[in-house]
Amino acid sequence: MEAGAWFRPCLPNLILIRAKGRAVFIILFQQIVNGLIIGGIYALIAAGLTTIFGLMNVVNFAHGEFYMLGGMVAFLITQTLWSNYFFALAASITIVMVIGFLVEKILIKRLRATGVDLLVTGALVTIGVSIFFQNTSLLIFGSIPKLIPSPFSTEPFKIGPILVGRMYLFAAAVTVAVILLAHYSIKKTKLGMAMRATFQDKDVASLVGVNIDRVYSFTFTLGAGLAATAGALLGPIFVIYPNAGERVVLKAFVIVIMGGMGNFLGAILGGFLLGVTESLTSAYISAEYKDLIGFVIVLLILVFRPSGLFGKTKRI
């Protein structure tokens, strides 16, 4: 059992860099751009989770399924009703938000009423929901992977030597817009203030007349909608299949913790950070340990900055 087993995969990549000089910088920059693009998508999924997990303290394991349903429903719409992608995008987000609303109304609200510890029971109920959604969509949509017809040509968009798919740019643009919209609505609007009040102290919030049930259902629906947006945006880029959500959930939790609970901007920056780190690791260290990086970063953050990289340190 040689001790070097750990490092052997890195050697060829490191030698490669020294040899190629200038070309290396283009490749490095391309890798960073790759990281930013996938990071944007991570951010959107995490942004949805940061409202539910971060603000409502519900460990939402069904978040991946909202992402998958966003893609599946968008695919269904393009196949049947009206094949315009943008209509399908909007329609699937609304439908998944309705599903999120129902899940909150039927399950989470009842649990909250029993006053049981929401963190743990919330995790279990959402695991049940995730198993149910995953396998029902397997029944309805079948195991055949779906591809939403992309409204843009597959010709990559050229910025100097860097190549970026057109659909990616659209997805990144929508991501930033949606997140800023959500961030603005939480910071500035009345409902946003009510949300923040409820999650500071729900008893006091209800004392001052905030209908906390409405706030909870709006937060959950917003979270589901954000995840669905990511799913619908990724439909044309990556193929959507019933288990697509599983791989995404753990990454989203990692980012929410990195960005700071309930911190929208944190989720965005956390998503980009994880995207770039993973892309660089798999390019220059080794693909196998790509996911390891995410886990190690979270542990470091928990030790040194428990309120997240970008969160304010909470007073004890």
Segment 166 to 225, residues that bind another protein, using CB under 8 A: none
Cβ-proximal residues to 121 (8 Å cutoff; 6+ apart), any chain: 111
Taking the CA atoms of residue 70, residue 75, residue 78 and residue 81 in that order, the dihedral angle to the nearest 10 degrees is -80
DSSP letters, 271-282, are HHHHHHHHHHHH
- Binding another protein by CB under 8 A: which of 15, 18, 114, 160? 114
Q: Does 118 bind another protein (CB under 8 A)?
A: no
Q: Does 306 bind another protein (CB under 8 A)?
A: yes
Taking the CA atoms of residue 227, residue 77, residue 91 and residue 228 in that order, the dihedral angle to the nearest 10 degrees is 0
Q: Does 143 bind another protein (CB under 8 A)?
A: yes
Q: Does 84 bind another protein (CB under 8 A)?
A: no
Q: Kindly identify the residues of this chain, within the stretch 243-272, that bind another protein according to CB under 8 A.
A: 243-244, 246-247, 250, 253-254, 257, 261
Tokens 């094949």 correspond to 83
CB of 89 to another protein, least distance (A): 18
Q: What is the token pair recorded at 169?
A: 């740019």
Tokens 């597959």 correspond to 154
Cα–Cα distance between 20 and 27 in angstroms, integer? 10
Q: Count residues near another protein (CB under 8 A).
A: 88
Q: List residues bridging with 240 in a β-sheet.
A: 146
Cα end-to-end span (Å), the chain:
47
Assess contact for 63 and 227: CB atoms under 8 A. Answer: yes
Q: For residues 126 and 198, which CB has a smaller minimum distance to another protein in the complex?
A: 126
Q: Kindly identify the residues of this chain, within the stretch 39-58, that bind another protein according to CB under 8 A.
A: 53, 57
Q: Does 292 bind another protein (CB under 8 A)?
A: yes
Q: For residues 177 and 299, which CB has a smaller minimum distance to another protein in the complex?
A: 299
Q: Does 134 bind another protein (CB under 8 A)?
A: yes
Cα–Cα distance between 274 and 297 in angstroms, integer? 9
Question: Which segment (11-19, 79-87, 92-100, 191-199) binds another protein by CB under 8 A?
Answer: 11-19
Cα–Cα distance between 68 and 63 in angstroms, integer? 9
Q: What is the token pair recorded at 225?
A: 């909608």
CB of 97 to another protein, least distance (A): 20
CB of 13 to another protein, least distance (A): 8
Q: Does 14 bind another protein (CB under 8 A)?
A: no
CB of 26 to another protein, least distance (A): 8
- Binding another protein by CB under 8 A: which of 98, 102, 116, 177? 116
- Binding another protein by CB under 8 A: which of 23, 98, 102, 180? 23
